[in-house]
Amino acid sequence: MDMSALTPNPGKDLVIKTSFGNFARYPVKTKLVKSGDSIPAILDECAMPYTQKGDMIFISEKIIAISQGRSFDIDDIHPSKLATLLSKFVYKSPYGIGLGMPETMELALRDVGKARILFAAFCSAVTKPFGVRGVFYKIAGTGARAIDGPCDCTIPPYNHCAKLAPKDPDKVARELKKHTGLDVVIMDANDIGREILGRSSEDISIDLCKEIFADNPLGQGSQQTPVCIIRKV
């Protein structure tokens, strides 16, 4: 099978060494995904012609969320006073704004729930004087951690959008496995961390997934490669 069309993104290696063995990561370029688009159809067109038995498919959680209609132009989000207040106390990472802007905090309040977000904020305020960081996101949960704000490195028009975590990512992964016949992992990865949001099987090792994506070989900007074929070599 000719895989020469699937080349690593700039600065990334095709093969990565892990404690589970060596794995090739073939980034797959797709069209610009929009709300309502069929992920199975996108995989059929862009990824499946290159796959073989035993491969895995890793997918950026961003395109799953977008296809589900869970991405919003920030001009269409009208933050409450509570969202504006809470966002001021969130650490703003250089790798992503997270809930550090009123619009993304508003999405968290709507999706995760006001009670949980307020409890997470309270616990964070209590522990911060002791040098403990990350309490807010641990309590707010995976859904809150996966909320993204606008980013210059994201392809337009999503560089002016905020998005929620994908809905039912484990279910989505299982449905995609039924369609493709291959194990599927839905990832939230950036330059400072990797989080597995959905797996087609609980037998898929989370540690393995994180090691394979240690350097985040996908590209959400001009690379337009939100899908990756994983093959043990």
pLDDT (average), residues 96-108: 91
Give the torsion through C-alpha atoms of 44, 46, 49, 55, to 10 deg.
-90
More confident residue, 83 or 195: 83
What pLDDT band is residue 202 in, cutting at 50, 70 and 90? Answer: very high
* Residue 52 pLDDT: 97
What pLDDT band is residue 154 in, cutting at 50, 70 and 90? Answer: confident
Q: Can you tell me the distance from the alpha carbon of 231 to that of 233, in angstroms, rounded to the nearest whole number? A: 6
* Residue 223 pLDDT: 78
Residues constituting the chain? 233
Question: Which stretch of DSSP H or E encloses residue 125?
Answer: helix 114-127
* Residue 168 pLDDT: 96
pLDDT at 73 over 60: yes
pLDDT (average), residues 159-179: 96
Give the torsion through C-alpha atoms of 204, 207, 213, 215, to 10 deg.
180
Residue 108, helix vs strand vs coil: helix
Q: Can you tell me the distance from the alpha carbon of 50 to that of 6, in angstroms, rounded to the nearest whole number? A: 9
Tokens of 204: 């898929």
Q: Can you tell me the distance from the alpha carbon of 173 to that of 195, in angstroms, rounded to the nearest whole number? A: 15
* Residue 193 pLDDT: 72
What pLDDT band is residue 221 in, cutting at 50, 70 and 90? Answer: low
Strands (E), the chain: 15-18, 21-28, 56-60, 71-73, 161-163, 183-190, 193-199, 227-232
* Residue 197 pLDDT: 95
* Residue 220 pLDDT: 66
Q: Can you tell me the distance from the alpha carbon of 210 to that of 91, in angstroms, rounded to the nearest whole number? A: 24
